[in-house]
């Protein structure tokens, strides 16, 4: 496994990612490397464009040890709202207040090519929205109603 470099250059992060048409060894290695990179960076989610790969691939780990590997993820339903602080490994040292749905249902392929649906609530729903946004070049800073100053951190 390799640790990948997390991009912080906004111009690169604005590019749109293409769907995965074939889950080959390269994609599986990408998933492994992304999980390792996310963990080392102490994040709860990482999208492939953040490591310079413009493919619709995401990893999320809200519950330690339970990694969701999402290929071509699509949010198929959302309801409720939650408002809270959010950060991004590509926007280091900053946080902002973002409104997200409280509950989402996401459909994606797993690494074996099976179509699966995942339900997310709270932080998991937030991570699912944040990471799928990355695939379309959207950053949470676009949606933040307020950015927090460093002194707002507890
Ligand atoms: Zn992010």
pLDDT tens digits, one per residue of 34-86: 999 999 999 999 999 999 999 999 999 999 999 999 999 999 999 999 999 99
Average confidence (pLDDT) over 136-144: 97
Cα 25 to averaged position of ligand 1 atoms, centre (Å): 25
Cα 84 to averaged position of ligand 1 atoms, centre (Å): 15
Instruction: Check if the beta carbon of residue 104 is closer than 8 Å to that of residue 125.
Output: yes
Instruction: Check if the beta carbon of residue 72 is closer than 8 Å to that of residue 19.
Output: yes
| Domain layout of the chain by residue ranges | 10-148
Q: Give the Cα separation of 104 and 80 in Å (integer).
A: 9
**In the predicted structure, residue 152 carries a pLDDT above the cut 90:** no
The domain 10-148 belongs to what CATH superfamily?
Answer: Peptide deformylase (3.90.45.10)
pLDDT tens digits, one per residue of 10-27: 999 999 999 999 999 999
Residue 83: enclosing H or E segment and its boundaries? strand 82-86
Catalytic one among 86, 131, 150, 151?
131
Six-digit token pair at 18? 């293409």
């Amino acid at each position: 496994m390799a640790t990948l470099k997390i991009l912080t250059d906004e111009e690169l992060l604005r590019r749109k990612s293409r769907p995965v048409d074939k889950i080959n060894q390269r994609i599986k290695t990408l998933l492994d490397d992304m999980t390792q990179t996310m963990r080392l960076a102490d994040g709860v989610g990482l999208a492939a464009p953040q490591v310079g790969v413009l493919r619709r691939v995401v990893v999320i780990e809200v519950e330690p040890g339970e990694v969701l590997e999402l290929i071509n993820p699509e949010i198929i339903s959302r309801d409720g709202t939650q408002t809270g602080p959010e950060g991004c490994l590509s926007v280091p040292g900053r946080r902002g207040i973002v409104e997200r749905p409280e509950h989402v249902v996401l459909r994606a392929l797993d690494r074996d090519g099976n179509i699966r649906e995942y339900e997310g609530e709270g932080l998991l729903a937030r991570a699912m929205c944040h990471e799928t946004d990355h695939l379309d070049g959207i950053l949470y800073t676009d949606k933040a109603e307020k950015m927090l100053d460093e002194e707002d951190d507890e």
